[in-house]
Amino acid sequence: MSQPSTLVEHNVEALDNRARRCFASNCSTHSYSIGSRDRRSFLEFGTAHAFAIREQIKNQMLEFEYEGVWKMRRTALIIATLVSLLAVAAAAQEVRSEISLQGTGFFTKESTGQGTTQRGTETGGFLIGYRYHFNRWLAAETVYGYDRNTQEYFGSAGLSRVQANAHQATGGFVVSLPSSARFRFSPYLLAEGGALVFDPTGNNFGSIPGAQRQAVGVFSYGGGVDYVLVKHLSLRAEYRGLVYHAPDFGLASLNVDKVTHTAQPSAGVVFRF
């Protein structure tokens, strides 16, 4: 039997003893205090009523005991609900998104094939990126970059040049590396895929006739490090390597049929929210 029920049986036994003593002294009324609740039940003892209300008093005492148990359970439920709400609010305030703005360099290596050598002039541009952190070590990122340079081709026909705007669009994953928070440095590695679009400017002094817009697939790899200034603002230094097929702008005379590589160092700021 549970503890509340044992206590009730003890109190009922005491009530029976008091009732018997009352009958022996021919008393007509008697008061009895139930437990520590300071509640009094007034019993009118007589040959017909003394034990008739015994079960009623027992039920009342059971109700008193289990009322306390119910209140304790209700209090525990309220506390658990409040803790859950606080946890949800804390998660909602966690910083998961960031936007970056970086200035870049654009340095393309020389490629030779089919009797033609191709190279791109060195130039600069910018990158705009959005990154969403799934957890502390994995994030998804999408990036747009822009620069303008001139692709130069040296072949049997001499020098040919095509000035073009280069649009870079990539997306992929970023892995954060372990680091100590006290040093404020957050290193990471990245791997992304996307496209490079070379769009001739039509400059009469920088392009040859017939050059067309061309999109090529690109694989981007690299890494970087963020230095935290304040909670929502960091500085970033980054390196990206771009691997893609050398553009020919739809002209067979410019086709070197080679995979080329562009080094893209950058530095900028990151806003977190």
Q: What tens digit of pLDDT does each residue of 83-99 get?
A: 666 555 545 557 899 99
If asked whether residues 26 and 135 sit together in one domain, one would say no
pLDDT of 61 strictly over 70: no
State both tokens at 40.
Answer: 């009094």
CATH number of the domain where residue 199 is located: 2.40.160.20
pLDDT tier at 110, thresholds 50, 70, 90 = very high
Using the 3D structure, point to which of 37, 69, 92 is the last residue of a domain: 92
| C-alpha to C-alpha distance for 194 and 216, rounded to whole angstroms | 9
pLDDT over 80 at 101, yes or no: yes
H runs (alpha helix) in the chain: 3-24, 54-92
Q: What range defines the domain where residue 174 resides? A: 97-272
Question: Where does a domain end: 67, 92, 117?
Answer: 92
- Of 1-15, 16-30, 36-50, the poorest mean pLDDT is in 36-50
Q: In this structure, are 202 and 255 located in the same domain?
A: yes
State whether 44 and 111 are in the same domain: no
If asked whether residues 21 and 152 sit together in one domain, one would say no
CA atoms within 13 A of residue 59's CA, in its CB half-sphere? 5
Q: Do 153 and 260 lie in a common domain? A: yes
What the block records as the tokens of 50 is 């003394």
* Strand extents, DSSP E, the chain: 29-34, 39-44, 97-108, 111-113, 116-120, 123-133, 138-155, 158-176, 185-200, 214-230, 233-245, 259-272
State whether 203 and 243 are in the same domain: yes
Rounded distance, CA 77 to CA 66, Å?
Answer: 17
Give the integer Cα–Cα distance in Å for 44 and 7.
24
Express each pLDDT in 134-186 by its tens digit.
999 999 999 999 999 999 999 887 899 999 999 999 999 999 999 887 889 99
128 with 36, same domain: the answer is: no
What residues pair up with 244 in beta bridges, in sequence order? 218, 260
Judged against a pLDDT cut of 80, whether residue 120 lies above it is answered with yes
Pair 143, 128 in one domain? yes
Distance from the Cα of residue 99 to its chain's centroid:
15
Same domain, 34 and 139: no
Domain boundary among 38, 73, 92: 92
Total of domains in the chain = 2
Nearest residue to 64 via CA among 93, 92, 33, 104? 33
Whether 38 shows a pLDDT value over 90: the answer reads no
Running DSSP on this structure, what letter comes out for residue 37?
T
Same domain, 81 and 150: no
- Give pLDDT, residue 37: 43
80 and 145, same domain (yes or no): no
pTM: 0.67
Statement to judge: residues 160 and 83 lie in one domain: no
